[in-house]
Structure 1
Amino acid sequence: MANDQLDAVAAILRNKQTVVLTGAGLSTDSGIPDYRGEGAPVRNPMTFQTFASNERARKRYWAGSHLGWRHFRAAQPNLGHDSLVLLEQSGIVSGIITQNVDGLHTRAGSRHVVELHGSMDRVICLVCGQAFGRDSVAARLEEANPLLNTPEAVRLAPDGDADVDDIDGFSIPACTVCGGMLKPNVVFFGEFVPAERFAAAQSLVQGADALIIAGSSLAVNSGIRLLEQARRRKLPIIVINRGATKGDGRAVLKLDAGTSETLAGLADRLCP
């Protein structure tokens, strides 16, 4: 990536309140794979309809999700996350809207984060709405399913899932309040982003002077809607992503580059 590209982006963002929309490409440097990046395997992610109606699918999901969550929990924020913290502290970034469910923005120290698709570290009951910390549910899972403590192979996926072959006899956790069905507090395929959460994201875009899209191919409708809101307001839109995105034609600048080094370069130029 050429320095003149970074200089051009810095010139656009200087003295502007910027909101950042992040996707899976931002977390790849933390060891979390990307759904749609170049070379990513084709996946058939769990839909809400299948999860709710098929007990065997729930068993497979909870086994895989638990093992995948272990990797999420062990992952550390990378240079891209840290650079966004610096940009926020310097008053350049007013907030972050993330499509990621790994919680790395918050762990890095970003203060104003809208987790558009939820977070893997929380679990909710679909019957009574009770929320649980993931650690407490994980402890119950491991006690009831000793196989989780000796996994032979785990193939991690971007949504916190993982491929697990043997789920016979697997025990699914239930809500300790009402006995209802538990689900990680993330938006599955076939679900809508909660209205109040999407409104919070829209509010960030409404109050911004510029939009950065970092590490997202914009294949999900919620991201496109936020991009369109920025376009209608005639905000300068910067896209940072390896490979094509659905927003390339609406960006004033597209940087075909990694998010970590690009955001670090912007922080070097914009932070005192």
Structure 2
Amino acid sequence: MSSKSQACAQALIDLVRCYPRLCVLTGAGVSTDSGIPDYRDEKGEWKRPPPMTHQAYMQGPLARQRYWARSLVGFRLLAGAEPGRAHHTLAALEAQGFIEGIITQNVDRLHQKAGSKRVVDLHGRADLVRCMQCNLLVRRHVLHDHLATLNPDWVGMDAEIAPDGDAYLDNVDFSSFRLPDCPRCGHGILKPDVVFFGDNVPRWRLDRAMSMLDDSQALLVVGSSLMVFSGFRFARHAAAKGIPVACINRGHTRADALYTLKCEASIDESLTALLAGLSGAQTARATTD
């Protein structure tokens, strides 16, 4: 383990001893070891072209054809991803009572796969598709099977995989890509049940996440630059209420001025050492008692 990770873990152990009930806010950096690319570099700038916006998706069929063609190629990585060490460690910390809940900006459901029970999927779920007209929910793999039947020439196409099940297909004509109608209402736009850039987090989901934070003693940000306001608001809310805010993330974040503690170290190593330190302390207390 690096000296940075050791120092980070010890600082986090000290923090959790004072504030033993954490709310954890996670971003793309938690899932990179599962093979899912992240969005931003250490300066908080885009590594890749910005993703689809809600407005573009809803305004024209060509944007939707482009989205689903790329998704048909790229989503297999997201669908097949397995939880990494960070996901499993956070689940273990929750099981031991140190985590009140997790607010995740990711849509990959890897926290749940790792065993975390109290998770708010802030930006929704990539494994579901919603009709924007009649509100029907469809499993995404069912829609992808239909898309593959309608567009057999696109199946198996090779491309570089992008975040959230996207793929880079350059200089491609998407106008012939066939999109299915909603199987219930017959004319609604089918859209992944996720919050695209430019869209708003549903109020009920935001309220649940804020309640989780208010019931906690400290906020731990893991693997997020917080450049998007939907995540930054939690750090701002915590700081305004006097709730300590800690962060494990390499590089610049939007909330740097708000942190009680910031660690620019390995997420996996730091969380693993945090769990070992806290578990060791619990065992020592139990033996003494």
Q: Which amino acid aligns with 1:129?
A: N
Match of 2:114 among 108, 113, 117: 108
SS in 1 for 2:205: helix
Residues 150-192 of structure 1, C-alpha deviation per residue, up to 9 Å, x if partnerless? Answer: 20x2221213211233424211122100011100001111110
2:36 and 2:7 map into 1 onto residues whose CA distance is 30
Asked if residue 143 in structure 1 is aligned to residue 149 in structure 2, the reply is: yes
TM-score w.r.t. structure 2 length?
0.90
Partner residue in 1 for 2:166: 161
Asked if residue 210 in structure 1 is aligned to residue 218 in structure 2, the reply is: yes
Shift in Å, 1:3 = 2.3
Partner residue in 2 for 1:170: 177
8 Å CA contact 1:213–1:240 kept in 2: the answer is: yes
Q: How does 1:250-265 map to 2 (within 5 A)?
A: 250-265=258-273
Q: Cα RMSD between the aligned structures?
A: 1.5
Please, which runs of 5 or more residues in structure 1 have no aligned partner?
none
8 Å CA contact 2:9–2:271 kept in 1: the answer is: no
Partner residue in 2 for 1:55: 61
Match of 1:225 among 233, 238, 257: 233
Structure with bigger gyration radius: 2
2:250 and 2:132 map into 1 onto residues whose CA distance is 37
Asked if residue 119 in structure 1 is aligned to residue 120 in structure 2, the reply is: no
Counterparts in 2 of 1:203 and 1:142: CA distance versus 1, 3 Å: same
- Which shows bigger deviation, 116-125 or 159-168? 159-168
8 Å CA contact 1:18–1:211 kept in 2: the answer is: yes
TM-score w.r.t. structure 1 length?
0.95
Shift in Å, 1:37 = 2.4
Q: Which amino acid aligns with 1:106?
A: Q
Q: How does 1:176-187 map to 2 (within 5 A)?
A: 176-179=183-186, 180-187=188-195
8 Å CA contact 1:25–1:37 kept in 2: the answer is: no
8 Å CA contact 1:239–1:247 kept in 2: the answer is: no
Asked if residue 25 in structure 1 is aligned to residue 58 in structure 2, the reply is: no
Partner residue in 2 for 1:83: 89
SS in 1 for 2:252: coil
| Count of aligned positions | 271
Counterparts in 2 of 1:166 and 1:108: CA distance versus 1, 3 Å: farther
Asked if residue 67 in structure 1 is aligned to residue 70 in structure 2, the reply is: no
SS in 2 for 1:21: strand
8 Å CA contact 1:24–1:99 kept in 2: the answer is: yes
Partner residue in 1 for 2:39: 35
Counterparts in 2 of 1:5 and 1:51: CA distance versus 1, 3 Å: closer
Shift in Å, 1:44 = 2.7
Residues 128-170 of structure 1, C-alpha deviation per residue, up to 9 Å, x if partnerless? Answer: 001011111111111111023220x222121321123342421
Partner residue in 2 for 1:244: 252
Q: Which amino acid aligns with 2:159?
A: V
